[in-house]
Structure 1
Amino acid sequence: MTLSVNTNQPALIALQNLNKTNDEMEGVQSRINTGLAISSAKDNAAIWSIAQDQRADRAALNAVKMSLDRATSITDVALAAGESVSDLLTQMREKVVAAKDTSLSTSSRTALNADFQGLLKNLTQVVNSATFDGANIINGSGSVTFNMTFLADADAATVITLKLQNLSLSSTINSLVATDAINTQTLAASVLARLDATMTRVNQAVGSIGSQAKQIEAHNTFISKLNDVLETGVGNLVDADMAKESARLQALQVKQQLGAQALSIANQAPQIILSLFNGGG
């Protein structure tokens, strides 16, 4: 090796190695601080791109879950109201059957009719109150042919359809009308026939809502699991192994100290030239 005051090759090599160690330490510290082995496209463009796509899908699935949560709330309210309607119809039937008794006095029949009329009004109140976030699927306020749809996947390519059921008076399901009365045996017999048919259709409609609610719940559970799987998948791609990074940091710290010492020693090499000239004097 040539001794020169102009070029100190050992110092250059030591400096290069020290800079390399510093760069590696910066990378390790970044991974420790962020918890990510790949935090930007420059770390690994291909994997970063894949991870970004999966993050986009996760974000979209959050929107799907919000849509399904809303659907769940709407069906829960509708089910509660539908079951109440079914209970009210059962109470009405009790009044109607009682009104068919030929031995009833006029006052008793009038009292039964008043109770029946009150139940009719209560039914209407229940149906109209079954609203969540402005949506009511049992009062006929929406288009039955259109129904309601909710997001089912991250691309919004598929939907879950919630069929509307009109349980209001004077509908195809509920053939009772607001003016129905049971203050005579003949009227009671007429109402009973329509009431029995209505109870059958209402129970079928409520059962249909229950089946749809179960489908929505099952799909919502699947979306939650899928979201968790995607999160784990992204983590597998980009998360840093903190145990390895800790061990690597310890090694680089020692390597950095040794590199600094090596550079210091290399920088002292030109001093040898002075001793050569001093010896010649």
Structure 2
Amino acid sequence: MSSILTNRGATVALQTLRSINDQLSTVQTEISTGRKVSQPGDNSAVWAISKTMEADVRGFKGVSDSLNLGQSTVSVARQGAETISELLTEVKGKVVAAQESNVDRNKIQADIEALTEQIGSIVNAASFNGQNLLKNSDTEAGSGDIDVLASINRSPTGVTTSDINIDKIDLGINEGSVAATGGTFAAAAATGTVNATQSVDIDVSGLTVETGTAFSLQIFGTDGDNSSFTAADYQSTAAAAQTQAEMAAGDMTYVARDGDTMEDVVYALGKKWEAYAQGNGLSSDVLDLDFKGSTITASSNVTDGTDSIAVNVSTISADAGNTIAGGLADLASMDVTSDAGASKALGQVEALLGIAVDAAASFGSDERRLQTQNDFISGLSDSLKSGIGTLVDTDMEEASAKLQALQVQQQLAMQSLSIANSQPQSMLALFR
């Protein structure tokens, strides 16, 4: 049936042309923007996912900046610790030279003091963006370490962050003090004696570590006839029971810093023992102390049932007013102008050199850890960007082919519409 009022063919052709034009407009938009999903209307689910991932990528950029800042800060500290290690090696050379009595010890002492001042200058200068990891003498909580933003973690319940903790290692030369009176003094808070067993473990894990608390190591040997060892050489105090005044004046004391654990205290006491033992010429056969974790292991090859050596750890509470010393504070009191001072200095410098080397190694490990995390964050960001591209970017080859096909279909639809519109004119022939 033909009608001059209704042209079904033209209607169908027009609908087809409109559909083709809509598709053509979509493809042209994809090509011009480079994205197949550029707004929620294109694909709401994919658009929402891509926006969340884009926010994460931007967040990881901030994490990378934080890691770069942290790495630079640690790098400065590592360089400072390495330089200090080299200077301490020079100090050791001076101290060794001072062991000879026919040298000018006053000049050697002057050289040591000059090197000590230089070490102090390096510690003060080893700062990056106002952060100095070679200083840790503050009693303020949280001042003993820094947190470097390391990652953002997305989970079904929300977004959290994670940090890499970097401990400060004090290499300062400022002297501290232990209060001779006041506070709570606990003599032999942890104790052990080597006798016939010739070995004992002293567990100090039960002691409380609080910033400003002082710890000391005391030894007291008993050998009535000096048959196994010279008792006086292995007595760091006048009597078996150490007094608070003796602890305050002792060589083997340490005041806890912010962030210290018992393992840190044991390590510090171990370094004090190394200096004391070497400086006083103590034999490891008579008394050898090993410091690991929160345990001090004392051993001897000569003690027996009557000849024994007690090893004690005493404490003075922080409210006594103890002050925290620099990690290399013994440099300031080092004096090689006498035989006794030169001998003591040799033990001191060896222990101090160990502290500086350990600090440089620790900072090097921290620096590597930050670099590894930064590399991971960089790779993760690249993977997220690639994933976002897979979700929303236009496949240009496919879009190009589709554009050409739609252009052909558009031309054919227009031809079809033109033919459909011309059909009613043929009806005029019926009325001629």
Taking structure 1 as the reference length, what is the TM-score of the superposition? 0.90
- Aligned residue in 2 for 1:190: 344
Q: Which residue of 2 aligns with 1:21?
A: 20
Q: What's the counterpart of residue 124 of structure 2?
A: 128
Matching of residue 201 in structure 1 with residue 355 in structure 2? yes
Deviation at 1:140, TM superposition (A): 2.8
**1:111 equivalent in alignment to 2:107:** yes
Counterpart-to-counterpart distance in 2, 1:85 and 1:156? 39
Alpha-carbon spacing, 1:162–1:76, altered in 2? closer, same or farther (3 Å): same
Shift of residue 145 of structure 1? 5.5
> Within 5 A, what are the aligned runs for 1:243-262?
243-262=397-416
Contact 1:117 / 1:181 at 8 angstroms: preserved in 2?
no
Partner of 2:9: 10
**How far apart are the structure 1 equivalents of 2:137 and 2:72?**
18
**Letter aligned with residue 147 of structure 2:** T
Deviation, structure 1 residue 177: 4.2
RMSD after superposition: 2.0
**Alignment correspondent of 1:64:** 63
Q: Equivalent residue for 2:204?
A: none
- Equivalence for 1:158: 162
CA separation of 1:122/1:146 partners in 2, compared to 1, >3 Å: closer, same or farther?
closer
1:73 is matched with which residue?
72
> Could you say which residue in structure 2 is the equivalent of 1:221?
375
Does the CA-based 8 Å contact 2:137-2:326 persist in structure 1? no
CA distance in 1, matches of 2:326, 2:165: 21
Q: For residue 35 of structure 1, what is the aligned residue in structure 2?
A: 34
Distance in 2 of aligned mates of 1:74 and 1:156: 24
* Partner of residue 171, structure 2: 167
Task: Report SS of the residue matched to 2:327.
Answer: coil
In structure 2, the residue matched to 1:236 is: 390
Unaligned runs of 5+ in 2: 153-158, 175-324
Alpha-carbon distance, 1:194 to partner = 1.9
Q: CA deviation at 1:109?
A: 3.0
Comparing 93-102 with 82-91, which one deviates more in the overlay?
93-102
Structure number with the bigger relative contact order (C-alpha 8 A, sep ≥ 6) is 1
Aligned to 1:55: 54
Partners of 2:135 and 2:143 lie apart in 1 by 14
Aligned residues of 1:175 and 1:194 also touching (Cα < 8 A): no
Structure 1 residue runs of 5 or longer lacking an equivalent are none
Which secondary structure does the structure 1 equivalent of 2:164 belong to?
strand
Partner amino acid, structure 2, of 1:165:
I
Aligned AA (1:232): S
Q: Percent identity?
A: 36
Q: Residue by residue, what CA displacement relative to the aligned partner does 1:34-72 show, whole Å, maximum 9, x if unpaired?
A: 222211111111121112221121111111111111111
